Structure 1
């Protein structure tokens, strides 16, 4: 008999739902995971405030299609969940962007109020 897997926390479930929405480019799904005044800090690039700005960045015109996103590990402490993973996105110019990331999600109740993205683009 296999050992029973521990129940994932509600906040980890929100991060998984957000990531699935991003993978499918399901804007309604990932936006439902965010507070109205969400802040997204893309370290080394920009800081965005509010769902509308967040939504525009997810639909970045430099890319086409749906990204590949893999979460390798989720770590939770208090009101914060960290997702470590990797991904790829097709560039509109025909290239492919491969990257690794660490996303730090801060919550108010069970909604993401702040996202800090640390991303390293691979050659």
Structure 2
């Protein structure tokens, strides 16, 4: 029944609009940038004083440090990133998802993540990334 409703709307020239907030759109653009390994797109989503923290792993400050981590030397190719849900309250967006990527030695990392984005003027000011490895698959 719902599909029929969409067809009727389309036939009437009514398009479903994207109700994504500006902050969520920035996070979506950021994720799209990572999927494409597009440094400019990713960096365009950040404040100049951005902080990226992965508790127990690293703490980066500034766009240059962030840029250096976009293509980690331990990995090759582009990551497969799936975002299952984005939740927003005030200037915080939380993205939950999964990532698959290849190590340079051929192993494949499967992990789930929860990224907490603290926003300022629709830009990412701080990112805290929580990553849990599901498996490393040997070729």
TM-score by length of 1: 0.96
Q: Are residue 66 (structure 1) and residue 101 (structure 2) matched?
A: no
Q: Give the equivalent residue in structure 1 for 2:34.
A: 22
Q: Give the equivalent residue in structure 2 for 1:31.
A: 43
SS at match of 1:119: strand
Q: Post-superposition shift, 1:43? A: 1.6
Q: Which has the higher contact order (CA 8 A, sep 6+)?
A: 1
Q: Post-superposition shift, 1:17? A: 0.2
Q: Post-superposition shift, 1:58? A: 1.2
Please list the CA deviations of residues 75-99 of structure 1 after superposition, one character each: whole Å capped at 9, or x if unmatched.
Answer: 0000000000001111001101110
Q: Give the equivalent residue in structure 2 for 1:113.
A: 125
SS at match of 1:93: coil
Q: Are residue 100 (structure 1) and residue 134 (structure 2) matched?
A: no
Q: Post-superposition shift, 1:35? A: 0.4
Mapped partners of 1:79, 1:57: distance in 2: 24
TM-score by length of 2: 0.85
Mapped partners of 1:70, 1:15: distance in 2: 13
For residue 13 of structure 1, the aligned residue among 1, 5, 25 is 25
Pair member with larger Rg: 2
SS at match of 1:61: coil
CA RMSD of aligned residues (A): 1.3
Aligned residue-pair number: 123
